[in-house]
Amino acid sequence: MEIFWYIVLMFMLGVYVILDGYDFGVGIIHLFFAKKEEDKSSITKSIGPFWDANEVWLIAAGGVLFFAFPTLYASSFSGFYLPLIMILWLLIFRAIGLELRGQVNNSMWHKIWDKAFGISSLLLALFFGLALGNVVRGVNLGVVENGISKYEAIYFFVPLWNSEFSPFSERLGIIDWFTILVGIVAVVALTIHGANWVIFKTNSSINNKLKDVVLKLTIVLCLLVVVSVVVWSSVNSNPLQNFIDYPLLLIFPTIGLFGLINLLRIKKFKKDGLGFLNSSLFLFGAFASTASALFPVLLPSTNSVNPSLTIYNAAADSYGLSVGIWWWLIAIILVGIYLIIQYRIFKGKMDHVPYGHH
């Protein structure tokens, strides 16, 4: 039962990364590469009807986390208090940047909201990367000092940073050199993903230039992936043990690498959607690999006094989890239908979708 809900949770978070991930990437492309007004307009239109539904995957995943693993929800949301609230603020800026831009026809107004959309997308990609880095690195559960827990075993609090910026420090911060590395990986990966979406869904004049960008960033990303895996094995002990014990899990890194290496051939793709497909494969593979490496741990403990939070000690009671399966299955089928309807209606290039025009 716990495993079912673990897969559900990771599935929903993974879908979130792929779907809202392209929104963030599109925001970054919009911020750095779109200069002409028509391009900016095509680029925002390409996510216009989708971004809100994409964001719901985060909210729904949060709901599932709350209900299936309440201990983890309570522990991590209060422990990562500041970055989470800042993510909320950024989500607000991203949303109003997109939705309020078209309300007034004035170039200063447009500039303000374009920047709000672009900068908050960039920071969101960075923050989600930092968050992933923090979860992988682990936290000081129970706030242990000199071998004694200051709080109950599941609670902790991580400030934004401390003076050492090190994942090995006694007092951890959200930002250290390891989490920053993961943050940069996230920004690069999502920029590629967003560029692929723009190539896929628009006829903007920068599409060819974006293919160069994808190619260059893919090379950077390959290096970053190698570096992070190496560094990871110094931060966690034996992060790859699960893959040795359960070789079947190797399918995830394989899918990820397949997508990543394919992206190097971006310029030869015949169909505009192939780049997007491959960056989706990469994100899926990378996310699933990270989750499988941690499994069954959800949040590692960095001290030896309190145990890590796992899917077993953080789960809700079995009756609740078993009734949940029924409504969740019904709901996810409905969600699938909505997605099909949505993507069928807005299939193909979206430069002329009537979004944001009044």
Partner 1 sequence: MEDALFYDRMQFAFTITFHYLFPQLTMGLSLIIVYFKGKYLKNKIEKYNEAAKFWMKIFAINFAMGVVTGIPMEFQFGTNWAKFSELTGGIIGQTLAMEGMFSFFLESSFLGLFLFGEKLLGQKLHFLTGFLVFLGSWASGYLIIATHSWMQYPVGYEILENGKFVLNNFSALFSNPWLLPSYLHNQAASLVTSSFVVGGIGAFYLLSKKHLEFGKLFLKTGVVFGLIASLLVAFPTGDMTAKNVVKYQPVTFAAMEGLFDTEQGAEIVLIGQPNIKEKRLDNKIAVPNILSFLTYSNWNAEVKGLNEFDENLYPTNIPGLYYSYHIMVGLGTIFIGVLLIAIIYLYFKKLYNVKWILWVIMFLVPFPYIANITGWYTAELGRQPWLVYNLMRVSEGASPTVSAGNTLFTLLGFIGLYLLLGLLFLILVGKIIYKGPQTQKV
Minimal distance, residue 155 CB to partner 1, in Å = 5
Distances from the Cα of 170 to the Cα of 90, 144, 163, 191, 330, angstroms: 30, 9, 11, 34, 46
Q: Is 234 helix (H, G, I), strand (E, B) or coil?
A: helix
In the complex, the smallest distance separating the C-beta of residue 37 from partner 1, rounded to whole angstroms, is: 19
Min dist. Cβ of residue 196 to partner 1 (A): 22
Nearer to partner 1, 84 or 180 (CB): 84
Please provide the DSSP assignment of 45-107 as one string.
HHHTTTHHHHHHHHHHHHHHHHHH-HHHHHHHHHHTHHHHHHHHHHHHHHHHHHHHGGGS--H
We find the least distance from the C-beta atom of residue 131 to partner 1, in angstroms, to be 13
Q: How far is the CB of 152 from partner 1 (least distance, A)?
A: 7
* CB nearer to partner 1: pick between 100 and 257: 100
Cβ atoms 163, 148 nearer than 8 A: no
How far is the C-alpha of 301 from the C-alpha of 139, rounded, in Å?
5
* Cβ atoms of residues 250 and 153 within 8 Å: no
Shortest distance, position 176 Cβ to partner 1, whole Å: 19
Q: Among residues 251 and 325, whose Cβ is nearest to partner 1? A: 325
d(CA 286, CA 32) in angstroms, rounded, equals 25
Q: Are 292 and 11 in contact, with CB atoms under 8 Å apart?
A: no
Identify which of residues 63 and 223 has a Cβ nearer to partner 1 in the complex. 63
**Shortest Cβ distance from residue 85 to partner 1 (Å)?**
5
- What does the alpha-carbon distance between residue 287 and residue 254 come to, in Å, rounded to a whole number? 12
Q: Which C-beta is closer to partner 1: that of 223 or that of 331? A: 331
Rounded to whole angstroms, the Cα distance separating 130 from 237 reads: 20
Q: CA-CA distance, 169 to 198, in Å (whole number)?
A: 41
When the beta carbons of 56 and 222 are compared against partner 1, the nearer one is: 56
In this complex, which beta carbon is closest to partner 1, that of residue 100 or of residue 224?
A: 100
Would you say 200 or 328 has its CB closer to partner 1? 328
Residues making contact with partner 1 (CB under 8 A): 48-50, 52-53, 55-56, 59-60, 62-64, 66-68, 70-71, 73-79, 81-82, 84-85, 88-89, 91-92, 95-96, 99-100, 103-104, 143, 151-152, 154-157, 316-317, 319-320, 323-324, 327-328, 331-332, 334-335, 338-339, 341-342, 345, 353-355, 358
Q: From the CB of 264, what's the least distance to partner 1, in Å? A: 35
Residue 272 neighbours by CB under 8 Å, 6+ apart: 199, 200, 207
Which C-beta is closer to partner 1: that of 226 or that of 337?
A: 337
Residue 299 is classified by DSSP as E
How many Å apart are CA 294 and CA 138, to the nearest integer? Answer: 10
Please state the closest distance from residue 202 (CB atom) to partner 1, in A: 17
Cα–Cα dist 51/313, whole Å = 35
